[in-house]
Amino acid sequence: MIHVTKTYLPPLEEYTEYLQGIWARTWITNYGPLVLELEQKLKNYLGVKHVFLVSNGTIALQIAIKALELEGEIITTPFSYVATTSSIVWEGCKPIFADIQRDTLCLDPQLIEQLITPRTSAVLATHVYGNPCDVEAIEIIAQKHQLKIVYDAAHAFGVQYKGQSVLNFGDVSTLSFHATKLFHTGEGGAIITNDDQLAHKIGYMANFGHNGPERYWGLGINGKNSELHAAMGLCVLPKVTDLIRRREEISKQYDQLLHGLGLVKPMVAKHVVYNYAYYPIIFPNEEVMLAVIAALNAEQIFPRRYFYPSLNELNYIDKQSSIIAEDISSRVMCLPLYYDLSVDSVLQIASIIKNVVIQ
């Protein structure tokens, strides 16, 4: 079977070497040496000031919202994974959806100001498929209205904008290190900030509020990750450059093979060094897309409708219209893309798509 993605696993002997050290120390969690080493190496690799390794990308969002003391309304995107919206609701805030740009599929900054009310506390935007939002336009609006900015950067590991990490924009960025991601720790995530005071707050919030074993700074939750997960991250991190290069090669093969079929890819913003996290294609309509999915599934090939449905249609929020997001979500899907996807598999996938589309 060919799935939309496949977890990259490093050579077993490399991981085992880290495990031997863990067994010798018998230090499994509570900020062991491997967690601290990975955090430092991620700071260096990403070019950011503070990195907090946490248990997953969703808790990263929840801690970010809590640390920024957000309340009331948060303007956000309807085109993202459900965790972007559910984290807002979970933390007692109300998501207010600004529709997306049709070309980049990211939140449209031109729609933000008309949604701002006295209850608005922040903008939470997603770098969709790793494609950066218009961070400069969002920054101008946020400063004008004294709003906080959180970026769901789950797909944006290693992405650069104008010569620096896209994670340097906003008050906080969050990452997912789930097994399906470009860089992963099996399960995990991270919170990124360049604000020292906010970093101090995030640090204790992610560890029950602890300030030493018997003292507490304030309210906290268990967001920690383990030495076992950090070991995986330390094995995967040195391979990221090669993994990106291979994904770029596969993406270019798809580009060539699918050219001329009337399929649309999201536009990557200017001045971006992209990470090729996904290969999304937008079909002319949902009927054609579903026919392609059925044809691929018949050959044990499983792309993914990512993202679907549009988040403004979730049943636990007030219905809000997002015409573009609803349209795109109904006819976009991501093709299989991972480090060892073979040329023959790419040819097969492209051939099946072509046969359906040109009928």
Residues 243 and 221 in one domain: no
pLDDT score of 57: 98
Boundary of a domain, candidates 191, 211, 238? 238
Instruction: Provide the 3-class DSSP secondary structure of residue 238.
Output: helix
**22 and 85 part of one domain:** yes
Q: Are residues 334 and 282 in the same domain?
A: yes
**Same-domain pairing of 119 and 234:** yes
* Residues 224 and 249 reside in one and the same domain: no
pLDDT of 142-154, one tens digit each?
A: 999 999 999 999 9
Four-point Cα dihedral 287, 288, 292, 295, nearest 10: 70
Give the model's pLDDT for residue 212. 80
Mean pLDDT of 243-251: 98
Asked if pLDDT for residue 160 goes beyond 90, the answer is yes
DSSP string, 170-225: SSEEEEE--TTSSS--SS-EEEEE--HHHHHHHHHHTBTTBSSTT-BSS---B---
Question: 293 with 333: CB under 8 angstroms?
Answer: yes
| Total number of domains constituting the chain | 2
Does the pLDDT at position 213 exceed 90? no
102 and 202, same domain (yes or no): yes
The residues facing 95 across adjacent strands are 74
Do 100 and 44 have their domain in common? Answer: yes
Q: What is the pLDDT of residues 268-316, one digit of tens each?
A: 988 999 999 999 999 999 999 999 999 999 999 999 999 999 999 999 9
Are 217 and 253 in the same domain? no
Cβ–Cβ under 8 Å, residues 145 and 123 = no
User: pLDDT averaged over the chain?
Assistant: 97
Residues 221 and 324 in one domain: no
* Whole-number Cα distances in Å, 240 to 38, 134, 245, 259, 311: 14, 25, 9, 28, 31
pLDDT in tens, 226-240: 999 999 999 999 999
User: 102-144 pLDDT, tens per residue?
Assistant: 999 999 999 999 999 999 999 999 999 999 999 999 999 999 9
**Model pLDDT, residue 347:** 98
| DSSP E strand stretches across the chain | 2-3, 50-54, 73-76, 94-97, 120-126, 148-152, 160-161, 164-165, 172-176, 189-193, 272-273, 280-282, 301-302, 332-334
Model pTM score: 0.97
Asked whether the predicted pLDDT for residue 353 surpasses 80, the reply is yes
Q: Which of 238, 257, 291 is the last residue of a domain?
A: 238
> In the chain, pLDDT over 90 holds for what percent of residues?
97
To the nearest 10°, report the CA torsion of 67, 201, 145, 170: -90
- The pLDDT of residue 71 is 98
CA distances from 93 to 65, 73, 152, 170, 332 (A): 9, 6, 16, 19, 29
| Contact (CB, 8 A) for 333 and 280 | yes
The length of the chain, given as a count of residues: 359
Bridge partners (DSSP) listed for residue 193:
50
Return the SS3 of 333: strand
Range(s) of the domain holding residue 212: 2-238
212, 257: one domain: no
In which residue are the tokens 């050579």 written?
11
**Whether residue 169 has pLDDT greater than 80:** yes
pLDDT at 23 > cutoff 90: yes
The reported pLDDT for the residue numbered 269 is 84
Of 187, 220, 238, which residue sits at a domain end? 238
Residue 100 and residue 90 in one domain: yes
Together in a domain, 204 and 269: no
> What CATH number is given to the structural domain containing 17?
3.40.640.10
Joined tokens for residue 212: 């030493």
Sole residue written with tokens 């392609």: 292
What's the CATH number where 324 sits? 3.90.1150.10
Q: Which residues, in sequence order, are CB contacts of 298 under 8 Å at separation 6+?
A: none
